[in-house]
A and B are shown apart, each in its own frame.
Chain A
Amino acid sequence: MSWVRRLLIAAPAVIFVSSWPFLEDPAATSDALAAVTDAATGLILIAAGLIAADRRPSGRTGPLLVVAGYLWYVGDLFFVFPDASIVPLLSFAFRGYYDIVIAFLILSFPAGRLQTTAQRIVIAALIAAYAARSLGFLLMAVHGQVYPPNGTPNPFLLFPDAPAELLDVWVTALKAVLIALVAILAVVRWGRASTPTRRVLTPVLAGGLIWALMSAMYKMGPLARFQFDVQFPPWQDATWWSIPDYLLRGSAAPVGFLIGALLLRTARTAVVDLVSGFSDQPVRRNLQASLIKVLRDPALVVIYPDNEGWTDADGRPFTYPHPGDERVATPIESDGRTVAIILHDASLEEDPGLVGAVAAAARLAIDNERLSSALEAQLAEVRDSRVRIVEGADAERRRIERDLHDGAQQRLVAIAISLRMLGDSLGPKASPEVAHEIDAASTELHAAIEELRELARGLDPPLLREAGLGVAIEALAERMHIPVKLDLRLDERLERTVETTCYFVVAEALANVAKHADAKTVSVKLWRTSDMLFVKVQDDGRGGADPAGGSGLRGLTDRVAAIGGQLAISEAGDGGTLLEAQIPCA
């Protein structure tokens, strides 16, 4: 509810109350304590009503409490406007109606609905009694009094000879009995209420019982005086009684409602509590405990559909529906199918907005978890498949290298040996042309063998496989035409994919240095932690390497990323190029 609306609702009462001190000889303000208590009672009721309306926007408890607050002041109009036409008459005839609303709310808070026939009968009887009294004072004369007191004729008077006060005595006694019945029904209701309801009901019941006791006691007073000529309660005029009298009679019930309204949970705070209560734990393990806390229903259970039936949060089979289980089921549905059911206390139904909002939040959490785990699974699958692609490519390179080695290379070597034998066997007898041709063929053959060997080496460096990363990188360094400063802190062998990836990173970096950097020296640094291998290749060349340019580097970046690592290229401090990579290694 907006503040503007609250102000509009509460302002008339405040203005009305604050006008009292300015009245001429106001009877209502003659006793300061009575005036303050009287004014505060209505305001407390209105405040409780506004709070309840805020927390349960769909319920009627809030509006009813506000109505009760205004009805409280009806009796005061008699004193505040004594000269205003028939206002004092109406005030006198209709005062006390707020009791009906209080009685109704004590039996229906916080849902605002009566639940048993007994409750309905008592409230109906109470309404009838108050209506009978009002009619009595409107239609009959009051014996021995000019009524209304300001001399305005009573336009409703039908039975000038019938004494209204006699009816009032008996009707008031009847009201006392009915209010006592309300008190009994309220206690019975509290006894039967579930834990979540009882929590908000307790202050309402406490205030209500005090109200009922005081009201019933005072409403028996006229009968006792009229019929038996005794004063009831006997201490009515005692000095010590005036203060508790005012405080208890007026404020007990409103304060009870105010506390009860404050204890009501708003759907919003419940959802906030629920959602902020979700930790990193799986929702399934966490949801039930959170809901128990948020809805304050210790008997609440969340069950999940299984292939054959239902399981609880721990995965144990759960019989649902269970005969004799009085809990109410609120299903959580997503994409047209039930993903869970909240079995909760029936009293929570009194505020469908609360359970609905909480169920919606729970659905979001369940959906979120479902989507997250699906996404996580997909990501894991993608990660795995990337690693498999890298490993597959490596295996293929090894196969090609082996084929080259076992096939073409061996044949070419055999041909080279044959050619040499041919040359040797011809010896000095050979013509210069033939000798020259044999030499030329032999040179070509050796060039072909060397090219094949380079190709094979690039595919699957034998030294890497056989001797490990350190030795293989040392061999790479030896082939460089500029000095290479090595700092290799690596003793043990690593996983093949890690070694191969790291080797290709260093090989590509050194090849780029040789081709583009125009460097005088280059340094290669290699070290590892428990789970990560770090590579750093830095040259003192002219820099300007572009990680996006050149398929070699880009392919390598992909390869490193595929096994969960990172590769970065930057300008070194002195103008050269710095290549850094980190590769996960378990």
Chain B
Amino acid sequence: MVGVRETVLIVDDHEGFRTSMRRMLERAGYDVVGEAVDGRSAIAEALRLKPDVALVDIRLPDIDGFAVAKALRAAGSSGSILLISTRQRIDYGDRLASSDADGFIEKSDLSARSIAAIVHGS
């Protein structure tokens, strides 16, 4: 872990899930700098806060996580984008492989370790 804490943006429309995530991430040493409840506010918040990691739920009330990742990449965002879902990888076929996100984690597998594995490639 580096001296400066990594910043995280949590994008999910379920408040209970956001709260659990925030507690888990903060306990693991991340700095949760913001939360967003839908795709459009997620893009705005990510561009404003420039977090190191954006955890983006695929299923959002307005646009989906794939669209958020695509918009962020198009806007030049350089932070890691992790798509998350209660569903499994198989449920999205090859959409995950061709998406602009850096990785995908099933929500039930979410942990500081699984996030770090994708962000830092270890």
Contacts and interface: CB of A to CB of B under 8 A. Distances in A.
A461 interface: yes
B86 A466 contact: no
Interface of A: 405-406, 409-414, 416-418, 420-421, 424-425, 445-446, 449, 453, 456-457, 461-463, 466-467, 471-472, 474-475, 478-479
A413 B93 contact: no
B110 A417 contact: yes
A456 B23 CA distance: 28
Given A412-B108, A475-B93, 19 more contacts: A410-B16, A410-B17, A410-B86, A413-B110, A414-B14, A414-B16, A414-B19, A416-B107, A416-B108, A417-B20, A418-B23, A424-B27, A445-B108, A449-B86, A449-B108, A462-B92, A466-B95, A471-B94, A479-B90
Contacts of A445: 108
A405 B95 CA distance: 20
Contacts of B90: 475, 478-479
A463 B93 contact: yes
Interface centre among B19, B20, B27 (most CB of A within 10 A): B20
Interface centre among A410, A411, A467 (most CB of B within 10 A): A410
Contacts of A414: 14, 16-17, 19-20
A147 B58 CA distance: 130
9 contacts: A405-B59, A409-B86, A410-B86, A412-B108, A413-B107, A416-B108, A421-B23, A446-B108, A471-B95
Interface of B: 14, 16-17, 19-21, 23-24, 27, 59, 64, 86-88, 90-95, 107-108, 110-111
A458 to B, nearest CB: 12
Contacts of B107: 413, 416-417
A425 B111 CA distance: 13
Given A466-B95, A475-B91, A417 B86 contact: no
Q: Say whether chain B's binding surface is mostly helix, strand, loop, or mixed.
A: helix
A453 B24 contact: no
Nearest to B90: A475
A413 B95 contact: no
A413 B108 CA distance: 5
A224 to B, nearest CB: 118
Contacts of A421: 20, 23-24, 27
Given A410-B16, A417-B21, A453-B86, A471 B91 contact: no
A463 B23 contact: no
A405 B86 contact: yes
A446 B106 CA distance: 11
A411 B21 CA distance: 12
A155 B91 CA distance: 123
B86 A457 contact: no
A29 B85 CA distance: 119
A457 B19 CA distance: 26
B91 A462 contact: yes
B80 to A, nearest CB: 20
Interface centre among A414, A456, A467, A475 (most CB of B within 10 A): A414
Contacts of B92: 462-463, 466-467
Contact of A453 (B16, B19, B87, B111): B87
Sorted from nearest, which 5 A-B pairs have the closest CB atoms?
A471-B93, A413-B107, A414-B20, A417-B20, A410-B14
A585 B17 CA distance: 41
A414 B16 CA distance: 7
B91 to A, nearest CB: 5
Contacts of B17: 410, 413-414, 417
Contacts of A406: 14
Nearest to A446: B108
A442 to B, nearest CB: 10
A411 B14 CA distance: 9
A417 B14 CA distance: 14
A194 to B, nearest CB: 79
